[in-house]
Structure 1
Amino acid sequence: MDWDTVTLLVLAAFGLAGLILTMAAELLSKIPAVIEAWRRVRATWRGGDDG
């Protein structure tokens, strides 16, 4: 294995890690909005109003 291959593998690994971390952060940032929307749906379904 030559240095060019090693360099490309390292760059690819870091790129993939960055992509995964970015996607995880985006997903985690949306969880509170999803929970709030679910609570509104349940409240509407029951005929009440939670907020």
Structure 2
Amino acid sequence: MEAKISYLHEGVKGLSEAFKSFEEDITEFMAFTAENYADHEKRISNLEKRR
């Protein structure tokens, strides 16, 4: 039973470490998206006004 719990603990620990990496990547992506979203919306608005 202890071996199974140890194995489960190691698996959860690995998942936690992987999530930290994912969290950094997704945070960076979200910041990039937020920075470019306003510019994108402005360009679309300008294109619509030209019609």
TM-score normalized by the length of structure 1 = 0.71
Q: Pairwise CA RMSD of aligned residues?
A: 1.7
Aligned pairs (5 A) from 1:3-42: 3-42=2-41
Matched letter for residue 8 of structure 2: L
How many positions carry a matched residue from both structures?
A: 47
Give the gaps of 5 or more residues in structure 2: none
TM-score normalized by the length of structure 2 = 0.71
Structure whose residues are more often helix by fraction: 2
> Higher RCO, 1 or 2 (CA under 8 Å, sep at least 6)?
1
The 4+ residue runs of structure 1 with deviation greater than 4 A are: none
Q: CA deviation at 1:32?
A: 1.8
